[in-house]
Structure formats: structure tokens, C-alpha cells
Amino acid sequence: MKILIVDDFSTMRRIIKNLLRDLGFVNTVEADDGQTALPKLQAGGIDFLVTDWNMPGMSGLELLKAVRADANLAGLPVLMVTAEAKREQIVEAAQSGVNGYVIKPFTAATLQEKIDKIFERVDA
Amino acid sequence: MTPEKLTKPDERLARARDYVVALENGREQEADRLLVQIANMRETMLFQEIGKLTRELHDSMESFSLDEKFSELTEKEIPDAKERLNYVISMTQQAADTTLNAIEEIIPISEELDGKSQELNQRWMRFRKKEMPLSEFNDLSNDLADYFSKSTNSLQTMQLSLNEVLMAQSFQDITGQIIKRVINLVQEVELSMVELIRISGGNFVNSESKSSLVNPELAGPAIPSLNENDQVDSQDDVDDLLSSLGF
């Protein structure tokens, strides 16, 4: 399972990478913006996307929409990990097809729970 | 003194002429009186000029919506920015505390493990060099079993503490986003002030508006004291909101 982690703050990418490693996901790649992430997704091989929302070039929401609009990527499970906490934003993300939404600051347990949930649904 | 209505500069000139005439004829009191009148005229002109400039400045500000800008800045954005920076201070404090607590927990455990390890090692070396009688070996064997079980616990405790330190570093991302927003605000204040200087006639090169560091439509990290009730407070709230909508 190869996971792409997208966030413009490298600290956050490191933290998520370490947490995923603890959960047994050792195959991770990173991108610092939606713009650099999309080509990596389109190149193939990525099974799960973890992304922030607020990024200068292409936002996480725009990335999500691009993924859902691409025939090859439409089914990709996407987890948003973000500081954006306004209700209308959460709803917008859900309506755009996000599979899980975690707000910062978060705990390791929450991240694990959401990832497990996403993969339960995918397998079902 | 001439009786016709005069323009102000002419009035002053007329008064000045009268002043000279009064002096030449030794009419001291009249001269003093005229001097005061001339001085007063100058003051009045000055005040009228200032009043006109002030009015013009105010009108310019209104036409550029600067006065709205300033009131928005002073009533909302700058107080918000202070809250945000205070929040940064409290987040960084919290992260430092969590990290220091974890360290204070880990160090004694690690020292104890080290001490025990060394002690057992010495006894084990004696066993290897065949310098240990059987009775002592039995004790060593029991102590080793004990050590393995205790050290597993210690190491697990240490791992939990290290995970806490890992998670504590997430403050950097959140405080970074908050600070970016405050930088944006400072830029806005800067641009407004430049605009003000420009329209009030000061010599200033128009600075181009720099592109925003953050997307103005997004709200950014939740600052508890600035919540206008359209933000969620916790992950549980997020989960509830999503499940209530069928997601």
C-alpha cells in the first residue's frame, strides 16, 4: 500500500509519515502542494491520499475535486487532515467526495481510527 | 483706511500701510492695534487652510474607502490578530510543556534501564568467565527474567512518551498558519498607510499589492476565543456533523 502525504508544512508531513509508519504503513511519498501532488497521483501506483486543505498553489479541496473528476483516480480513498474547522467547509469537503476528515490538532488514535474506517468501507 | 471690500492679501497690505503711517505719525497705540490685527488675519488664514486640507483628506479617504478599511482594521482585524498571536504563545507553551514532561519521564526510566543493564552485564561476564558458583547463577537467572519483563514495560512507556513528543510538534504547522495570517494583516495595514500617505500628498512610490500569503476565503486554524459559532470545537463535532448528513 503506497500512501501520498500532501501538506505545505514539512513538519506536518513528517508527523503523519511517522504515525503511518507506527501503524504499519511504511511505503509513503510526499508532496508540498496540490499542484505537485496531482502529477504524482496521475503517474499511478498510489493507493491512498492524505492531504491538507490550505495550500498556496492548489488547495486540498481542489486536489480532491481533480481526483474525483479523473477517470483513473476517481475511486482513490482520500483523507483530509486540516486545520479548517468551519462547518460549511466540512460539509463541502464531504460533498466533494472526501472519505474522512480529521481536524488539527489531532491524536494518533484519531488518525488510526479514521484510516481503519476508510479501509473497512473500501473492503466492504 | 480704505472703505471698499478687499481681498485678504490686499487687506493685509492696506493694514500694513496704515501701520507704517501710524508709526510715522507717532500714533503708538493705533500702531499696536494694527499689528495685532495683521497677526490675527494671518492666524485665521492658516486655520482656514488647515480646515480645507483636513476636509479634502477626509473626502479622499472616503472616496478610496480607506476610512472603512481603517475602521475594519481597528475594530476587528487588529484585535483578532492579537488573539491569534496570544494563541500562538499558548500553543507553543503547551508544546514545550508536553515535550519537557515526556523528557522528564523518559530520562529516569532510561537511566534505570542503563544501570540495571550494566549491573547484570557484570554478573553475566563473571558467569561467562566461569567465575560464578551455581547458587549465584540461579539468582542471576531469576534477576534476568525479572529484568526482561520490567524492561519491556519501561520501553513501552518510553515509546508512548516519545509518541507524545512527536504529536506535540504539530504546533509548528498550526502556529505557522496563524502567523501567516497575521503577516497578511500587517501587509494590509502597510498598504493602507501607504495609500493614506499618497492621497495626503506625500512623496511615496505606489507599492504593488503583494499576493496574499493565505487564501482569504479559508478560515484557517480555529482560535477558540474567536469562534463565531460556525466552527467545530473537536474531532467529535466533525464526526457528528458528517454522520448527521449521512456521510
Looking at the structure, tell me whether residues B165 and B44 fall in a common domain.
no
Q: Give per-10-residue mean pLDDT for chain B (247 aa).
A: 55 90 93 92 87 85 79 87 92 92 92 95 94 92 95 94 92 92 89 81 56 70 80 89 86
Looking at the structure, tell me whether residues B30 and B136 fall in a common domain.
no
Backbone angles phi, psi at B205, to 5 degrees: -75, 135
Looking at the structure, tell me whether residues B94 and B165 fall in a common domain.
yes
CB distance B235–A110 less than 8 Å?
A: yes
Contacts of A25 (CB under 8 A, 6+ apart): A1, A3
pLDDT single digits (tens) A66-121: 999 999 999 999 999 999 999 999 999 999 999 999 999 888 889 999 999 998 86
Looking at the structure, tell me whether residues B72 and B189 fall in a common domain.
yes
A2-13: burial string, b at 16+ Cβ within 10 Å, e else? ebbbbbbbeebb
**Cα Rg, chain B, nearest whole Å:** 40
Q: Contact A38/A83 with Cβ under 8 angstroms?
A: no
CB distance B234–A101 less than 8 Å?
A: no
Determine if residue A24 is left, alpha or beta; phi over 0 gives left, psi from -120 to 50 gives alpha, anything else beta.
left
How many residues are listed for chain A in this entry? Answer: 124
Tell me: cis bond preceding A105? Omega within 30 of 0 counts. yes
Looking at the structure, tell me whether residues B105 and B208 fall in a common domain.
yes
Distance CA A72, CA A66 (A): 11
CB distance B163–A22 less than 8 Å?
A: yes
Looking at the structure, tell me whether residues B86 and B166 fall in a common domain.
yes
β-pairing verdict for A3-6 and A48-51: parallel
Q: Which of B169, B176, B219 sits opposite A86 (nearest CB)?
A: B219
Interface TM-score (ipTM) > 0.85: no
Looking at the structure, tell me whether residues B92 and B32 fall in a common domain.
no
Count up the domains in chain B and report the number. Answer: 2
Domain that holds residue B196: 64-217
CB distance A108–B167 less than 8 Å?
A: yes
Residue A2's pLDDT band, with cuts at 50, 70 and 90, is very high
Cβ contacts of A12 on chain B, cutoff 8 Å: 170, 172-173
Looking at the structure, tell me whether residues B57 and B70 fall in a common domain.
no
Q: Which domains does chain A have, with CATH numbers?
A: 3-123 (3.40.50.2300)
Instruction: Indicate whether B244 belongs to any domain.
Output: no
Instruction: Indicate whether B241 belongs to any domain.
Output: no
Looking at the structure, tell me whether residues B55 and B146 fall in a common domain.
no
pLDDT single digits (tens) A32-71: 999 999 999 999 999 999 999 999 999 999 999 999 999 9
Looking at the structure, tell me whether residues B38 and B79 fall in a common domain.
no
Distance CA B235, CA B225 (A): 18
- What is the identity of the amino acid at A90? I
Distance CA B143, CA B121 (A): 11
Looking at the structure, tell me whether residues B138 and B177 fall in a common domain.
yes
